[in-house]
Amino acid sequence: MILVLLGTFYIEFPRPIIAIEKLIKEGKLNEEVIVQNGYTQYQSEYLKLQPFLDHDALDKLYNEARVIITHAGTGSIMKGVKMGKKMISVPRLHKYGEHIDDHQIEIHNEFVKMGYIFPWDENDSLEEILKEIDNFVPNKYVSNKQEIINYLKTYIDTL
């Protein structure tokens, strides 16, 4: 099963599900696809759309998903990264009216650099990405929380 997370931001983000549905219609994707579509209005006979999911339902889907395709929001990415899931990130883009700016590109690029997620950039073929994701092994998440705490503690002690 593929879990798709479009985010819960009030601006619609249909671009990923249009591409996914196209592959299903062409017979190039034969897997159940569940979409948390938030405020994105979309009708489909191929995708299971659920606007909002509670914490427990979302955790269950994260656990069951073979692959997670997500907008480049830190919350959605971090949840999957911490679970060691294969994640494909597609940033919302300002030029398409999908967000108020392009901060998701920066988030997306940093997580890609760290080897936590697989990128789906604007001109990439989703069909090829779905073939490549099988060989993608995400880096294990390493928290630097203690490092930040130590830095802040040292800084406070110098005041």
84-121 per-position pLDDT tens digit: 999 999 999 999 878 989 899 999 999 999 999 999 99
pLDDT of 155 reads: 73
Q: Are 67 and 86 in contact (CB under 8 A)?
A: yes
Q: Are 51 and 39 in contact (CB under 8 A)?
A: yes
pTM as predicted: 0.89
Q: Are 29 and 23 in contact (CB under 8 A)?
A: yes
- Give the residue-averaged pLDDT of 68-72: 97
In angstroms, the CA 121 to CA 123 distance is: 6
131-156 per-position pLDDT tens digit: 999 999 999 998 877 777 777 787 78
Distances (CA, A) of 51 to 110, 127, 154: 28, 25, 44
Q: What is the DSSP string of 9-36?
A: -SS---HHHHHHHHHHHTTS--S-EEEE
For 71, phi then psi, to 5°, come to -60, 165
For residue 24, pLDDT beyond 90: yes
- Give the residue-averaged pLDDT of 67-71: 98
**What three-state secondary structure class fits 90?**
strand
* Burial of 55 (C-beta count, 10 Å sphere; 0-12/13-18/19+): exposed
Structural domains of the chain ordered from first start: 2-157 (3.40.50.2000)
